[in-house]
Structure 1
């Protein structure tokens, strides 16, 4: 049986390592294939926009649970009998309400459809409500949603560039967000799920969640890579890969905790409540959070390493780190940080003898920066190291 607590500790300390950075081309290819499929689905099948976006007439029939048997066929037959709206969209809300959405109807056509539905479901006419939504309202809603998305992406780029002090981190995060948008929208197009205003709200919420997860990983990447530049013992890719390994368990746990209640709402919504704001919101959250967790681990950080690979300081760090690792028998992979038993840390100012006097065999400490090692132990971050006793 897998000990997840021990696994998480091993990933954090570097005893075990998943080669996220080394295998980044595989992640790029996999995401590229999925994105192409999503784009094809979007262009071929298009989004199933709700009545709020397209405009039209809506009818709701209030009946009994027993009266909703074969509701879809009966409702379409009733609408078709009056010669209007051949492509009616019929869904059930809760246990006893049937919703029928049609193209725009005039007053006379709307009255005929109401009478036909009331007769078909054997209810009084006042139990059938009719409403109309104009296409101009849907167009205004679409424009506002698009404007909000553009503003969100621009602000995200600026804030992350200022926070991390490098535009490449901001660009990597932005690409991960676009990746999430394309796949999520593509899933909606391929499955035919209806896009409602609640879907748009959930979509923007998902982008914020994905960005939060990416920022957490990037914070650890910045910390590890700064230590790498100072110590010259590990490459930029190795330090970034360690950062992803150190945060992957947290990302998975956070995502699972968020997905479980969302899944519960989905199951209850599909089984009993039916289409509505709650179901639309939970559906887009479930899809988007799962895709966002993937992109923060497999896309954002690997892409950052790719973007910075040609920088002179990163190349100099790689040369210095590889020379050090070759001298101390480090692994041949350039993207995996040395483990504690594979690459020793050189002695500090006290020398190897001082390390032995502290009770640590010479060459037994990991070659990752000292501060990262201290995070994995119980000692505080800035605890001074004990100087060796003077030799007489």
Structure 2
């Protein structure tokens, strides 16, 4: 960058400060609007923050065509609009296909999510069946035992012989309404139906025959008859009404069956989640508070440690935060709880690029360079480490985005966005600010600091101790898993995402101990659901209790909510339930392993490509596998719940670990250029020197990232805490492995595994 004159420096400072203030003001409005629920500047919130309902459906039968899948999505969207009201300002339903044979419905912001789930129902196929077939045989008959009608023949046989007059795709719409009875003059509820062109012709022929015979036409949905109206006239215009409803609710329910049965595909529920608005609001406010406190601490740390560069970095970080919130709002990106964790983590990681640059500047000043020259050289020398480190983190985010789902994707998006923005603010904004501050008169070396000469620490001599300690910790994890497996428990504390079942989180009006919950509440839950297998988890320092049971249907979930409301005075908005099918849980386990393997593979390729030496790449990958196993040991010993956040946590640890390792490897690559020979002694000196030179950077970056995650651990809600604790351990472990494992592995490989000699 060209050296700035004083006037130019002042101009740049004014422009950038105006941008910081402007984006800061906008960010404040966005945050306040989001927290208060106003829709002028609010960010779109996911279910875990806004409350609401999410359902994932599986298409029954063969994989459908894309046309049928998209048509079903459209009709289901209209179905939801009919239930919510298309002009609703408090809800914004989202219906979208997932893969080739699934559809997900997400409706944030609804107050009575269980009632909506009941109204939405399980989409299935609906059939209009003639009372008799062409030969005069009765297709269905009244069953006095059940008090309802039943099929006399298999449904597929009835479709084949033409007794099924209409199917759901022949129905345009069905609505409940009131009409005046022509005989009595009284107003009565009816169901008004309109048909497609093809349905109109078929229905005209069928009703003409049924009217002549004095017969009915049965409406069959989801394995039972929902109505069997008698045909009182031939209907030739494609419009008819069903009479005989006892009240408007019955008419509305029947219309609902007919509408949802009009989908092209039959769907079954795979997974559902109901989040209480009260818990979502608490998660949002505590996470934002954690971010604000962590950001302030990081800024103070930067200014104390790095003086003028720290001030520039803090201002750039403020702009970074404002830009992040602006982009989320401007591009209508859905913000989830893991997404907030991704932002907070990326704030901590955004400091890394600045710290690398500042360390380089101090080294150049110590080498006798002028401040302005040191700034220029420092940015150039730091570029390769910054780019390589951030690309590896982007690889982890990309894998999450491709292989993850739901809230994990939200984490991936915000993490990737944070990495890109952090590079921009560090390499562009911080650089402009530092040059501007120098131009306006802050030129003395004391404002920038000077690297102190440090005696090389002989890390290589302790490599056997480091390796032994790591192996011991990893073995403890495997032993823990083996012990739990031998006792009949799962090796890890798998959550519902991995096992399937229903989890219900309840915010009680008072705190209960685990013993009290097991003695007083669990028996009542077991009675409601008809099963004694209820696992209980009391959340420390809160009134929350998590109950895990076998999969519960909607009726059982509603009964459980009613019991909690009546017996314990629990507000329904303080209840969150999640229902995971076995199919989803099986896929989650396989996706977790695949995500780690894919991320490690692409990182291996990238490091190999950038460093032109497989020994750099392989030692970095072994070190990150080490970090994964250490964090896995924590999950095993502490019995932390292994759920969807587990994938995000592991891949984040991988990205962070490699990022830290690359900084040291980059210094080895640079120092190696002046190495005269590659004897074991000289390589040992090279490794020790490179670690020592980057040690302060490693500690500073770890501190700032730890601060951000620690705020989540202290202030976050339950789901965030379960994510934050292993992430915290992973960050510390990643720093340790970069210093004490990865470089030592490279040294061992370099000494004992000879590479190809370059031709003269």
Output the TM-score relative to the length of structure 1.
0.68
1: CA distance between counterparts of 2:687 and 2:572? 66
Contact 2:680 2:751 in 1 (8 A): no
The structure with the largest strand share of the pair is 2
Deviations 1:336-383 (A, max 9, x none): xxxxxxxxxxxxxxxxxxxxxxxxxxxxxxxxxxxxxxxxxxxxxxxx
The Cα offsets for residues 277-316 of structure 1, whole Å up to 9 and x where unpaired, read as: x2233223201101100000000011111111135699xx
1:50 aligns with 2:483: no
Instruction: Give the corresponding residue for 1:143.
Output: 590
The structure having more radius of gyration, on CA atoms, is 2
Is the 8 Å Cα contact of residues 61 and 118 (structure 1) preserved in structure 2?
A: no
Alignment of 1:284-363 (within 5 A): 284-310=726-752
Q: Deviation at 1:101?
A: 1.8
1:207 partnered with 2:647:
no
Q: In the alignment, which residue of structure 1 is the partner of 2:504? A: 59
* Gap change, CA 1:249 and 1:139, over 3 Å in 2: same
Gaps of 5+ in 2: 1-304, 307-361, 367-450, 485-490
Determine the C-alpha separation between the residues in 2 that align with 1:15 and 1:102.
58
Q: Pick from 21, 43, 67 the counterpart of residue 460 of structure 2.
A: 21
Deviation at 1:76, TM superposition (A): 2.0
Q: How big is the shift at 1:256?
A: 1.0
Equivalent positions of 1:74-153 (< 5 A) are 74-82=520-528, 84-92=531-539, 98-105=545-552, 110=557, 113-123=560-570, 131-153=578-600
Give deviations 1:67-114, integer Å, cap 9, x for gaps: x44473333232244551333233459956543221224567556544
Q: Does 1:216 align with 2:663?
A: yes
State the alpha-carbon separation in 2 of the partners of residues 194 and 168 from structure 1: 36
Distance in 1, matches of 2:502 and 2:678, equals: 68
1:216–1:123 distance in 2 versus 1, CA, 3 Å: closer
Give the Cα separation in 2 of the matches to 1:16 and 1:282. 36
State the partner residue of 1:280: 722
Tell me the secondary structure at the aligned position of residue 23 of structure 1. Answer: helix
Question: In 2, Cα distance between the equivalents of 1:241 and 1:130?
Answer: 53
| Contact 1:224 1:240 (C-alpha < 8 Å) held by counterparts | no
Where 1:229 maps in the other structure, the secondary structure is coil
TM-score (normalizing by structure 2): 0.36
Match of 2:313 in 1: none
Structure 1 residues 145 and 127: CA distance shift in structure 2, 3 A: closer
Q: Deviations over 1:163-215 (max 9, x none)?
A: 11111111100110110010101111100111221232122111101100000
Which consecutive unaligned segments of at least 5 residues does structure 1 have? 315-392
Distance change >3 Å, CA 85–CA 191, structure 1 → 2: same
Give the one of 472, 478, 501 matched to 1:33: 472
State the partner residue of 2:395: none
Post-superposition shift, 1:119? 4.4
Change (3 A) 1:116 1:86: farther
**What is the root-mean-square deviation in Å for CA atoms of aligned residues?**
3.4
Which one of the candidate residues 617, 624, 628 is aligned to 1:181? 628
Q: When the two structures are aligned, how many residues end up with a matched partner?
A: 303
Cα distance change, pair 228–121 in 1 and its aligned pair in 2 (3 A):
same
Q: CA deviation at 1:261?
A: 2.2
Q: CA deviation at 1:121?
A: 1.3
Deviation string for 1:17-37 (max 9, x for gaps)?
211012211111111111111
Residue by residue over 1:215-240, the C-alpha shift from the partner in whole angstroms, topping out at 9 and shown as x without a partner, is 00001112222211369997111111
Mapped to 2, the partners of 1:232 and 1:25 lie a distance apart of 20
* Counterpart Cα distance in 1 of 2:573 and 2:655: 44
Once residues 512 and 608 of structure 2 are traced to their aligned partners in structure 1, the CA distance between those partners, rounded to angstroms, is 57
Contact kept? 1:34, 1:183, Cα under 8 Å? yes
Q: Distance in 1 between matches of 2:570 and 2:681?
A: 75
How far apart, CA to CA, are the structure 1 residues paired with 2:694 and 2:610?
A: 19
TM-superposed CA distance for 1:125, in Å, is 7.9
In the TM superposition, what is the alpha-carbon distance from 1:136 to its structure 2 partner?
1.0
8 Å CA contact 1:225–1:240 kept in 2: the answer is: no
Contact 1:196 1:280 in 2 (8 A): no
